[in-house]
A and B are shown apart, each in its own frame.
Chain A
């Protein structure tokens, strides 16, 4: 992230308190967004494991018990019980991911609005781009 204090440019446009607040808000959204994206990435990864597991369980033999990891220990579950537990876990992840997405969207809309306002005032003297999309 690069927020140049506009003064660095020499013949700066005066930064009023409202502008400073906008810059702050933008910076806040930006850090928050990065944080959320990290969390989202981790959750998606976990979710993928569960999806793989789902496929495996579809193919599994009915008679064999499944060793299902809950917390730090593995529990020997019957196939239906394991599927049920899996459904519960998947659902939890789905709702967590959805929640994070909503928060990320909030940040993005907020940033978009601020960008318009800040670019309108400072033009090229301010850089609000994060660079390549994460």
Chain B
């Protein structure tokens, strides 16, 4: 344990380096020629770098946390419209996940509202759209099996419903994957910051103890360096 290599650059999957853990302060300072101040300065630099990365990642995390529900909502609407469309065209409804667990109750309901459903699907889709905060206007949507997806950069593209759902699903999966990675990185950085804090405390305490034990060593703080020779 004592003779651990000092600079082993282990990286996490996104290339964030691991902080070196100071296992034995005597040994560690010893190899640095007793330059306590230099060591502490270096620790502070490393900590600052980690903190910078942490800040960046926290912002990314925030952006993703806002983006994911957005995509989820859009996807929800698109699947809803796709289901309506399928029904209007008389296609058998792809009852995806619903067919699972409580199929029993669903079946009964499906039997009950089958007819009415078809009727409803044939009617145009009436909606209330938000024009502005607290202001809604009624709109009737002419369904043509396509939706416009806002792609950003002032661009909207028309997609067939199925394709739109596919695109949104893949975007959603991507965003979720990104988020888990960012969270992983944040946890990793937190860990390294803790290690650095502990390192700092250890070296500092070690230094204090040494100064105290060195007779009359209080006049000069640089004394540590000379003594180590």
Chain A residues within 8 Å of B, Cβ to Cβ? 3, 5, 7-8, 15-17, 20, 23-24, 27-28, 31-32, 35, 65, 67, 70-78, 80-81, 83-85, 87-89, 91
Which residues 157-204 of B have a CB within 8 angstroms of A?
Answer: 183, 187, 190-191, 194-195, 197-198, 201-202
Chain A: minimal CB distance from B28 (Å): 13
Given contacts A17-B1, A20-B21, A71-B77, 18 further A-B contacts (CB under 8 A): A3-B194, A7-B202, A7-B205, A20-B198, A24-B191, A70-B77, A71-B74, A71-B76, A73-B127, A73-B129, A73-B130, A74-B136, A75-B126, A75-B127, A77-B120, A81-B117, A91-B97, A91-B98
A contacts with B: majority SS: helix
B120 touches A81 (CB 8 A): yes
Chain B residues within 8 Å of A, Cβ to Cβ? 1, 21, 23, 73-74, 76-77, 80, 97-98, 106, 109, 112-113, 116-117, 119-120, 125-130, 136, 183, 187, 190-191, 194-195, 197-198, 201-202, 205
> Which one of A7, A23, A32, A72 lies within 8 Å of B187 (CB-CB)?
A32
B109 touches A84 (CB 8 A): yes
